[in-house]
Amino acid sequence: MTLEYRICTRCLMDTSDPEIVFDAQGVCNHCHDYDRLVAQKVLEGQAGHEYLERLVEKMKRDGHGKPYDCIIGVSGGVDSTYVAYLVKKMGLRPLAVHMDNGWDSELAVKNIEETLKRLGIDLYTEVLDWEEFKDIQVAMLKASTPDSEVPSDHAISAVLGNMADKLKVKYIISGANVRTETHLPRAWSYGHFDWKYIRSLHNRFGNGRLKSFPHIGFLTYYRRLLTHRRIDILNYIDYNKSEAMQILQHELGWRYYGGKHYESIYTRFYQGYILPSKFGFDKRRSHLSSLICSGEITRDAALDELGKPTYAPTMQEDDREYVVKKLGLTDEQFEAIMAAPKKSFWDYPSYSRALEGPLFKGLYIFARDLYRARQKSQHQK
């Protein structure tokens, strides 16, 4: 059944999200989620400052005698670079971890090298086995779901967690934040922490075995929820993305790369071409909607931005040629992937589907409630 087209009266989210719900005023569920999450997770002004001061002191105490207080992930993008800037400014001793999946743009690499050099932060880079990762990405494309970025996100989390375990560091500081990335429909991408989902797609559509790909098994995922502490530090400052970009450019020589997560060539092509062309999903709609709710951009200005091409058509053509060749596909194979019937996460085996059974569902609810109680207790300290 095709939904009658509607767009939120507050943000830009529309019925390209098949699960979207509108209230009587035409405001979507994502905006309501935004308001709820801001109330629950964001501390502004003095409250945020005091909370961070206490948290930083605790991290320093827990890190005493260790080479690092915390782990941070770096991609060369705005949020992760600003996190590096903040933690250094707060006097912490972070280890920066980068996961190289073979798609880093030259600018992203330069951003990482230059900013960390100026900040005096040590860097560890884990390079994925390209043949393995290429096989996973092609399998995800052949599965015809909008989740081709899921393996990268999964590997990043695995690499960060592995390093935290190895160094016995409790704190992983993240650039995720409520203000700029809340309007994220699960129909547009799902299963980031679901190793069974990734593995099942590779088993069906891939070739060979996965011997070295960093992953998080079911029990490891829940153990790390209890033994690691992820801190979304940008929720505790008055974070403004455009102001952060100016600071990074002025103080660290950082350079902008043209769009959210476009520091990766594959992400740029996937979000800018494959998702809108095949699935009708324009992730700019999601990113801009969060910025509307945070007050960083007006709805009219966001609509104007959305009316522009996702990125320069000439660059899209160059990226298309580069991505197809790098993945070892022919033009005909790529066009067949683009034309294949659309599928979703729920069409394939996954832990999430297994959790629908009573035994696993009970275990999941117990672990979830324990984690939430722990997070609430830590937030109140």
Q: How many helices (H) and strands (E) does the chain have?
A: 16, 5
CA atoms within 13 A on the CB side of 311: 24
CA distance 221 to 219: 5
Judged against a pLDDT cut of 70, whether residue 258 lies above it is answered with no
Q: Locate the domains of the chain by residue range.
A: 44-349
- Residues belonging to the chain: 381
Q: Which residue from 23, 41, 27, 38 is spatially nearest to 376, judged by alpha carbons?
A: 41
What pTM, to 2 d.p., does this model score?
Answer: 0.90
Tens digits of per-residue pLDDT, 141-196? 999 999 999 999 999 999 999 999 999 999 999 999 999 989 999 999 999 999 99
Q: Which residue from 36, 33, 28 is spatially nearest to 8, judged by alpha carbons?
A: 28
**Hunting for tokens 């998702």 — which residue is that?**
275
pLDDT at 5: 95
**Hunting for tokens 């704190």 — which residue is that?**
171
pLDDT at 105: 86
CA distance 370 to 353: 21
CB 196 within 8 A of CB 218: yes
Helix, strand, or coil here: 45?
Answer: helix
Mean pLDDT of 102-121: 93
Tens digits of per-residue pLDDT, 288-340? 999 999 999 999 999 999 999 999 999 999 999 999 999 999 999 999 999 99
Homologous superfamily (CATH) for 44-349: HUPs (3.40.50.620)
pLDDT at 255: 87
CA distance 73 to 371: 22
CB 15 within 8 A of CB 6: yes
**Hunting for tokens 């700029």 — which residue is that?**
180
